[in-house]
Structures are given as C-alpha cells and as structure tokens.
Structure 1
Amino acid sequence: MDAVPATVTIPGRLTPALLEAAAAPIRVDLAPEVLDKVAACREFVSRRLAAGDRIYGSTTGFGPLVEFSGRDTAVDQCDNILYHLTAGQGPDLPPRVVRAAALARLWSLAQGHSGVSAPVLEALAAMLGTDFAPAVPRLGSLGASGDLIPLAYVAGALRGEGSAYFAGHRMPAGEALVTAGLTPLALDGRDGLGLVNGTAVTAAAAGLALASVRRSHAVALTLSAVLTDILGSDPGFLSAHLLAAFGHPHAGAAAARLRELLDGTRPTGTRSLQEPYSIRCTPHLLGAVGGSLEHIGSVIADDLNGISDNPLFFPEHDTVVHGGNFFGQPVAFAADQLTTVTTQMGNLAERQLDLLIDPHRNGGLPPMLATEPGKQHGVQGVQLAATAILANLRRSTVPASVQSLPTNGHNQDVIPFGTQAALNALDAAAALRWLHGSLALALRQAVHVGGRRPTAPACAAVIEELVHAIAAVDPDRPLDGDVRVAASVLDRIVERAA
C-alpha cells in the first residue's frame, strides 16, 4: 500500500491512497515553483486576451453556444458558466468523494496549463485542510466535457453559494465557510471554467473504488486460505508446477500468496480428491483479478496525474490549444472493468459462504452453522442478505462506458459516462466488503459449532482476530453490525500484511 504522509506536497504523484486520506483534513503544500508556473500561465492568458484572441470560455458562450459572445465582465462570465450548470439531481455524493475530487482537480490545475489564478489553487488547498465539503448531487455529469455539473457545485460552495458539509453536518455553504475559517472565493470566467472542465469526480471515485478493491483482493485471498484450512482441504491445487504450466503469472502470484497463508496446514484426508471450483480455482480467478487491477491501476494513475481541461495554454510554445482533454473514456472503461472483477469476487465469496453452511459439503458441520438447528438459525439471515447483495451487484455490471447518448445540441455527440461508471464501481466495492464480512462471520461461527481451528499459523491468526472482535452466534441475535465489524477487521488484517 502507498504510504500516506500527513502533508501532501505538489508537485508529486497523486495516488488512490492520497484520495482516501483526503476524507479527513490534510495539509496540502503548493511548492513555490507551482505557484510561479500558474501565475505565468495566467499572465499568458491575459496577454492573449488583450491581443484580441478568441478563447473558449473567456470570450465565448459555452458548449454549442461557443459561436456567441460571452458576458462583458469576468465576474459575470463566471456566473455564466456556474449558474446554468447548477442543475444536478439525486442524493448528495459522500463528502469523502467530493473532497477526493477537489484534490484531483487541484492536482490538474497545479500543472500550470489551465490559466486559472493562483487563489483558486490556494482555496482548494485551504478547503482540504478543514472538514469542509461541498454538497454535490450524484446525477448530472456525463464525464464527457469534464464533470461539469458536480464541479459547478464545488465551485459554487467555495463562493459561499449552495450547501456544504462541515464535520458531517449539512448547512448553507456560506455558514460552512465561516465555520471552517475559510473565505469565499472570488472567481472570473477562466477560473470558473477551469474548476469545472475536468473529470475530477470520475477520477476520484474510480481511485477510491480501486483502493477499496485492492484491499478486497487481498481479503479474498486470505478468506480463501482460511476456508481451505478449516475444511481440511489438501492444498495440492496450489502447486507451483501446476500454476506455472497455466501460463498466467498473476495466477502464479495468487497461488504463491495462498501457499504462504496455508504454510503449516494439515489436510484431514477426508475431503474429495477434487474440491469445488470455489476452492480449487481460487488462484486462477483471483490471479485474473490481480492482472486486471494492475491494468486498471495504471489507467487511473495516468488520469489522476494528467491534465483534464479545455483549452490548454502553453506559454512556452506561445500557443492556446482547444481540444478534448476533458473526455473521460479511459477511466470509464477502467471503472467498468473494475466493477466486473469486483462482481466476480463477489460471486466467489457468496459461493464460498454457501459451501461453508451446507452440511453435505462442509465436513458435517450443522446446517446454517446453527448451534441448535431449528431453535437457532446461525448465519441463515446473513446468507439471505448476501444473496440480495450479490444480485444487486450483478445488476450493476451493465457497462456505463458504452451508453453514449448525443446531447448538448449535438456538441457532445458521443459521451463516455465515466462518472456513472466510476460511482458504480465505488458502490460495487462497498458491496464486496459486505460479502466478505458475511463470509468472515460464517468462518468465525464455523469454529464455534465444531469446525476445526486452522492449523496454518497465518490462518489461525485471522480466526483469532475475528473471534476476539465478534461473539459467536449463540443464541441468535441481529448480525448486520457484526458483518460490518468483520469487514473492518479484514481491512486491518490485510493492511498490516501489505
């Protein structure tokens, strides 16, 4: 895992771990050379405008209205961009997503090719140093011309308009600014367009989803090893020779990790010669996940550290370039792929849970892992909920990145819907944690109702931690909170092992 410093310095590399850190106040230091470059670019824009150049968003209307002149003053031009975009709908995005998006936008603007003023960067950095988070509705962005609508709410909140959260409480943005000790930000048209014309929400949501699913991948390997050990299965299916012959290096890496976790296990000798695929094929499935996450991670890293905006200004080449660097197709594809691999890990976890509660396949443990079947029901309700979670997760695998709909007067005639893809991946990541928490709770219950304690030290340590955190289901009690506790325990286990 990436180390997360208490202070973030720009320039540098923006990572999913830093996006997660931005959920809480984080200090962002802007190096002097960054502010110098931003100021020089801003001066270049001013010179070009003074020379009479037509520059999108500074002298023009927006979108298909580019052929019409914009408003006469810089402040009015900011209102021109922000007000017509303040049209989102739906529930608010979680504040941690909005704060991560603000950090991602800051990172892009700090590269000094967007023409915004230095106070914009300083305001974003100051915001991130507090508990302030703009209130942003979930629906509105196409991820095509940047995340226009959600980022308009971010810009508006920084001006003291709309609503915001402070320390988790929703209130008018002006009140939240005062509470946070922040000053309302004055913007002109170039600043306003620079704040909204990038895919920061898309990249941030995808980055947060990736960070969660990377942990869940490590959790899936851990739970698969613990299940194998508790059942007394022979780990021969993890043979290094076997996986080398398979030809996929990530499958070999997954098998190596499973062998490490199962080092010291003692098979019972009572299991079938060949285990079900939910055990026997775990290195192949989770290896494929590892390979996919490697590719997805490279795409998201490129996006987080590139410049998402239009137009771009290159003072060093004395040129202004109008183009499409706000088009979020790379992350849209990557986020849809992330949802796919997340769902397949969910399929695996649900099947492993089903195997563990079935007395015909679990080595004779009681049905539903109930201490007194009929009078007690063990994890029966947990499995029912897991089935519902998985069904909902499967429905989410319909890709967003190919749902293109012409809009905006056919200016945006092909669009990637990257924001929906990324938020969908983030939802899927949360669902996978619940499924893993459900399986972990069942594994903990299995050793209570007669299942053997793991014989591999690493697997035994996992069970001991779960036993310490969660009481046995005896008698029946509500288990919704225990599933979430188990998921958090698993996160801590894999973070320590990273």
Structure 2
Amino acid sequence: MTTVEISTIPVAFDGESLTIDSVRQVAEEGAQAAVPDAAMAKARRSREIFEGIAEQNIPIYGVTTGYGEMIYMQVDKSKETELQTNLVRSHSAGVGPLFAEDEARAVVAARLNTLAKGYSAVRPEILERLALYLNLGITPAIPQIGSLGASGDLAPLSHVASTLIGEGYVLRDGKQVPTRKVLDELGIEPLKLKFKEGLALINGTSAMTGLGSLVVGRALTQARQAEIVTALLIETLRGSTSPFLAEGHDIARPHQGQIDTAANMRALMNGSNLTVEHADLRRELQADKDTDKDVQRSEIYLQKAYSLRAIPQIVGAVRDTLYHAVQKLEIELNSANDNPLFFEGQDEIFHGANFHGQPIAFAMDFVTIALTQLGVLAERQINRVLNRHLSYGLPEFLVAGDPGLHSGFAGAQYPATALVAENRTIGPASTQSVPSNGDNQDVVSMGLIAARNARRVLENNNRILAVEFLAAAQAVDISGRFEGLSPAAKATYDAVRALVPTLGVDRYMADDIELVAAALSRGEFLAALDRYTDVVLR
C-alpha cells in the first residue's frame, strides 16, 4: 500500500461517463472513487436477475461449467466459491516486471467502471471493495506479461482479483508485499467470491484499457510539447508564419488535428519579432534581385524544409490518431466486456465475446505508429539545427566556443537517432495472434502488448524531445535572439534554463538529457505556458 495525494473531488464510477481524464485523476492524482447509488442499485438488480436464472439450473458458462476448453464439464452449484477462487488462483500466472503504481490504479479503475455498468451480475460488495482499494491506496502488484487480450486480460486482472480474496501481493513504496498482511493491518476482511464473480473480475479488457488511457492522455501532452519546441525552433531560425495560416487548414484541408496544430503554432508564435510573413520574404527576395545579390539564400527562407513547414500535417495527423484512440478507449471504459452478461427483461443470456480486445489493440498499434513518426520529426528537427549546412547560419553542433576543440551537441544527437531506430523496431502487436487454450482462444488481440509498445515509444520520445529542447535553447543563446522571441518561446526557453545551463564548454550531458526528459514526462513545458503566458493550447 502506498499513500497517495487525495483530490477533493471524487470521480463517479457509474459505468457510463468515465473519461481518460478521470482515469488519470484517480491513477495519477489520487482522486477519490465513488460509485453512485444508482449504479449500486443497478448492480444489485443485475445480481438478483442472475441468481434467479442460476436457481433454475440453466447452464451458465463459468457458473455451472468449467472454463474455456473445459466448458463441457459440469460443476455442482455447491462449489460456487471454490470454482471462482480456483479460476483466480490458476490465472494469477503473470510474469515479468510489475506495472507502476499509477498504471495498476488505472487498471483497477477501468475494471471498477465496467462492472459498475450493471450487466456483469457481481454483488455491490465487489464494487465497494474496488473503490475502497483506490481510496485507501491499496494497489495490486500486477506483472506486465501474460495477457493475450482475449479472453480479455486474464493474467493481469487475476492478480487484481487475487488481492480481493487476500492472496497475491500489493505495492508498498514501490515494492510488493503480501496482500493479507496489509489487509490485516487495515482491518479489512478478504472477500469470498460467489457465482461468476471471479470470472467477471478477470474476463475483460481493463488492463489494456487502463494502461492505454494513461498512454494516450500523456501522448496528447507530448504532442503539445512537440509543438512548443517546434515553435521555438522556427522562431530562432527566423521561419515563415505562412505555413500556419488558418485558411490553409480550416478551409483548404480541414482535418481536425491539422487545424488544431496550426492554431497552436499561431498561438505559440504570436508576438514574435523573429518570424516573418510571406510578403516580407517576397520583398526581401525582390530587393536581393534588384541589387544583384545571390538569391539562393532568400529562396531557402521562402520555404523551409518539411520538418519546419509541415508541422500541422505531421503533428496534426498524430493528433487525429490520438483523438481516435481516445474515442475507442472511452467507449471501452464504459462498456461491459466480460462474459456472460445479463439483461433485465431478457430471458436469453448473452454468451458472447465482449472480452476480446481487438478494438483497443488496433487503436494502440495506431498510437505506436503515430508516436514513432512524432519521434522521427523531432530527430529531423534536431539534425537541422545541428547541421551547419541546414541551420541557416548557426555553427556546427551549436558549439559555443572553438569547433573541433569542443563537440557541442554532436554526442547528444546520437541517442535521439538511436531511439528513432529503436522505435521503428516496435512493430504491431494486434496482428500477432497465437492460438491458445486448447484452440478455444484461436484468434487473440494481444491488446496489452500493443498498449505496452505505445508506452515504450512514448517514453523513448521524451528523450528525443529532451535533446531537441536543449538544442533549441542552445540555438537561442548562440543566435542572441532571445529578446525577439514570443512570450511563449521565452517561457519555454526559461523553463529549459531553469533545469540546465547553457552549454559553454563540453560537459557530461547524459544527466541533462534525463533531467529534461523527466520534465517532459510530467508535462512541465506545457505547465510553464499556463503559469507564465496567456497561451492556451488545444
């Protein structure tokens, strides 16, 4: 158990209205979880319907039968607790590193909400216990490896369920300790699982959906911070504002992500004395022609490379991918995704496959692809500002002193390039189906692997972007253009310099990169705009 900082406004788990932002509030900020009375009443009614059906000796999967390939085996009703407990124990077989505390809390939050929808026939006591865990900071220790994404995230959710019955482990100060020890200290009696409750707890997509919610929420912050550093670079390199004109996006090519990124770029560079409008560049070009100057320089400034000009088209497409993922994740957060399900007024039991994670697996693979391209863009922008042939007059590798004697950012570029290559090796998980469970689970989604892949690229990108933020601030110092920067660019520069000083002579740089990467993971450069400017990003 770890003490969490408690938010004063509880998040309602009603099975209908949970958002990614709400999941993050509970998982990251320690917001309280509350199950509304209406959701409790619906769960109670669902349980009554289910028990009425069970008493009629109607065959029900996982209640009077074995599981998966063993569905043909009948189990006597008197074994209800034993059957559910054995399921949880046998599937608590995850391996590998544990999910971080905020990730595990997101998993619990996602599972609580899907059960609160009221079609899974669990007793209200199950909902109360999951909410209690979130509110007291009792966080299950969940291994990351073992889910096939169908029938849902069986292994990781079993490690959650095992803690409800007083078994397995929970996290305390980042380390796993026996659950029973913690429950005894808090005076909490373990639950005894009744008909279907073990199955309902583990048979669903809540691990991939909980983790995916954190990844996508953080990825939107990363995309905004990529826009922030890009705007700083464009100002420092005296770029044109023409590529961000509203008409070129809102009217000519109205992809929502593209519109939003272009609007952000305009907001970020508003008030800059360094950027130039297209008309200014045309006048400069004509003046060079009139005086027989070499016009090649002006032509370069007229249209800069794609890495500085196609920002709305590239980052906007990343945004659109993330918007799509938000939609899919929030549908899933508010879905009943176990099996079987029970509906009032419906005699037929729904024996289906809502536990299958294919929608989330596809969405998270798409996120991985989009974030990989975001890293590519950042690395190419780094290269442009470090390469003296491409940086519009800046010295090679942004060396502040004597080039050759000092290497500047030459070494810092290597990890950024290496991480781009590493991101490209992380292929799609959703196409990696491997049959299991006696070929009962013959097509599986690998959705949790997809979410973990996206998280890995997200973390790699923070380090790529860290190098870019450092290089952009160095470019400001070397160019001497700080006074001409926009308010947003000045706030960004100041935020970098509050962490890392200017690179004068060569120094050990690994710590600088990690320090800025950690700040990016916390969204500090976005927060700096909120604190010191009036700029509000979409």
Alignment TM class, shorter chain as reference: over 0.9
Q: What is the rounded CA distance, in whole Å, between the counterparts of 1:241 and 1:36 in structure 2?
A: 52
Name the CA shift for 1:367/1:212 in 2 (closer, same or farther; >3 Å).
Answer: same
Q: What is the rounded CA distance, in whole Å, between the counterparts of 1:294 and 1:199 in structure 2?
A: 20
Q: Does 1:214 align with 2:220?
A: yes
Q: What is the rounded CA distance, in whole Å, between the counterparts of 2:11 and 2:333 in structure 1?
A: 15
Superposition map of 1:214-363 within 5 A: 214-243=220-249, 244-246=251-253, 248-265=255-272, 266-267=274-275, 272=300, 273-363=302-392
Shift of 1:344: 0.6
Name the CA shift for 1:248/1:42 in 2 (closer, same or farther; >3 Å).
Answer: closer
Q: What is the rounded CA distance, in whole Å, between the counterparts of 1:455 and 1:490 in structure 2?
A: 16
Name the CA shift for 1:361/1:181 in 2 (closer, same or farther; >3 Å).
Answer: farther
> Does the 8 Å contact 2:463/2:513 carry over to 1?
no
Q: Does 1:70 align with 2:75?
A: yes
Of the structure 1 ranges 486-495 and 45-54, higher mean CA displacement relative to structure 2 is found in 486-495
Name the CA shift for 1:360/1:301 in 2 (closer, same or farther; >3 Å).
Answer: same
- Aligned with residue 508 of structure 2, among 477, 490, 493: 477
Q: Which amino acid aligns with 2:264?
A: R
> Does the 8 Å contact 1:231/1:452 carry over to 2?
no
- Aligned with residue 411 of structure 1, among 428, 440, 452: 440
1:100 corresponding residue in structure 2: 106
Q: What is the rounded CA distance, in whole Å, between the counterparts of 1:157 and 1:390 in structure 2?
A: 39
Shift of 1:132: 2.0
Q: Residue 91 of structure 1: SS of its match in structure 2? A: strand
Q: Does 1:146 align with 2:152?
A: yes
> Does the 8 Å contact 2:92/2:158 carry over to 1?
yes
Q: Does 1:367 align with 2:396?
A: yes
TM-score (norm 2): 0.87
> Does the 8 Å contact 2:141/2:159 carry over to 1?
yes
1:421 corresponding residue in structure 2: 450
Shift of 1:419: 1.1
Q: Residue 342 of structure 2: SS of its match in structure 1? A: strand
2:43 corresponding residue in structure 1: 38
Name the CA shift for 1:194/1:380 in 2 (closer, same or farther; >3 Å).
Answer: same
Q: What is the rounded CA distance, in whole Å, between the counterparts of 1:460 and 1:25 in structure 2?
A: 33
Shift of 1:338: 0.7
Shift of 1:330: 0.8
> Does the 8 Å contact 2:54/2:60 carry over to 1?
yes
Task: Map Cα deviations across residues 374-393 of structure 1 (whole Å, 9 max, x no partner).
Answer: 44433333211112222111
> Does the 8 Å contact 1:164/1:173 carry over to 2?
yes
- Aligned with residue 62 of structure 2, among 39, 57, 60: 57
- Aligned with residue 87 of structure 1, among 93, 97, 101: 93
Q: Residue 186 of structure 1: SS of its match in structure 2? A: coil
Q: Residue 107 of structure 2: SS of its match in structure 1? A: helix
Q: Residue 465 of structure 2: SS of its match in structure 1? A: helix
Shift of 1:41: 1.4
Q: What is the rounded CA distance, in whole Å, between the counterparts of 1:439 and 1:451 in structure 2?
A: 18
Of the structure 1 ranges 380-389 and 99-108, higher mean CA displacement relative to structure 2 is found in 380-389
Task: Map Cα deviations across residues 236-295 of structure 1 (whole Å, 9 max, x no partner).
Answer: 222334443345453233222212222233347666122111001111112222222222
1:186 corresponding residue in structure 2: 192
Percent identity of paired positions between Structure 1 and Structure 2: 33
Q: Which is higher, the Rg of structure 1 or of structure 2?
A: 2
> Does the 8 Å contact 2:467/2:513 carry over to 1?
no
- Aligned with residue 129 of structure 2, among 123, 129, 136: 123
Q: What is the rounded CA distance, in whole Å, between the counterparts of 2:225 and 2:319 in structure 1?
A: 12
Of the structure 1 ranges 248-257 and 346-355, higher mean CA displacement relative to structure 2 is found in 248-257
> Does the 8 Å contact 1:310/1:325 carry over to 2?
yes
Q: What is the rounded CA distance, in whole Å, between the counterparts of 1:256 and 1:216 in structure 2?
A: 17
1:177 corresponding residue in structure 2: 183
Q: What is the rounded CA distance, in whole Å, between the counterparts of 2:366 and 2:186 in structure 1?
A: 38
Query: How many residues were matched structurally?
Result: 494
Q: What is the rounded CA distance, in whole Å, between the counterparts of 2:179 and 2:439 in structure 1?
A: 34
> Does the 8 Å contact 2:499/2:516 carry over to 1?
no
Q: What is the rounded CA distance, in whole Å, between the counterparts of 1:281 and 1:29 in structure 2?
A: 45
Shift of 1:353: 0.9
Q: Residue 408 of structure 1: SS of its match in structure 2? A: coil
> Does the 8 Å contact 1:10/1:107 carry over to 2?
yes
Q: Which amino acid aligns with 1:175?
A: K
Q: Residue 164 of structure 1: SS of its match in structure 2? A: strand
Of the structure 1 ranges 403-412 and 259-268, higher mean CA displacement relative to structure 2 is found in 259-268
> Does the 8 Å contact 1:165/1:176 carry over to 2?
no
Q: What is the rounded CA distance, in whole Å, between the counterparts of 1:166 and 1:136 in structure 2?
A: 13
Q: Residue 99 of structure 1: SS of its match in structure 2? A: helix
TM-score (norm 1): 0.93
> Does the 8 Å contact 2:168/2:179 carry over to 1?
yes
1:395 corresponding residue in structure 2: 425
Of the structure 1 ranges 293-302 and 303-312, higher mean CA displacement relative to structure 2 is found in 293-302
Q: Residue 171 of structure 1: SS of its match in structure 2? A: strand
Shift of 1:341: 0.8
Q: Which amino acid aligns with 1:477?
A: Y
- Aligned with residue 490 of structure 1, among 512, 525, 531: 525
Of the structure 1 ranges 279-288 and 71-80, higher mean CA displacement relative to structure 2 is found in 71-80
> Does the 8 Å contact 2:342/2:349 carry over to 1?
yes
Q: Which amino acid aligns with 1:109?
A: L
Of the structure 1 ranges 460-469 and 97-106, higher mean CA displacement relative to structure 2 is found in 460-469
Q: What is the rounded CA distance, in whole Å, between the counterparts of 2:205 and 2:453 in structure 1?
A: 15
- Aligned with residue 435 of structure 1, among 464, 470, 490: 464
Unaligned runs of 5+ in 2: 1-6, 282-296
Name the CA shift for 1:251/1:120 in 2 (closer, same or farther; >3 Å).
Answer: same
Q: Does 1:7 align with 2:10?
A: yes
Name the CA shift for 1:495/1:175 in 2 (closer, same or farther; >3 Å).
Answer: farther
Shift of 1:403: 1.3
Task: Map Cα deviations across residues 140-191 of structure 1 (whole Å, 9 max, x no partner).
Answer: 1111111111111111122221222023232122223345664322213411
Aligned alpha-carbon RMSD (Å): 2.1
Q: What is the rounded CA distance, in whole Å, between the counterparts of 1:70 and 1:493 in structure 2?
A: 61
Q: Does 1:386 align with 2:416?
A: yes
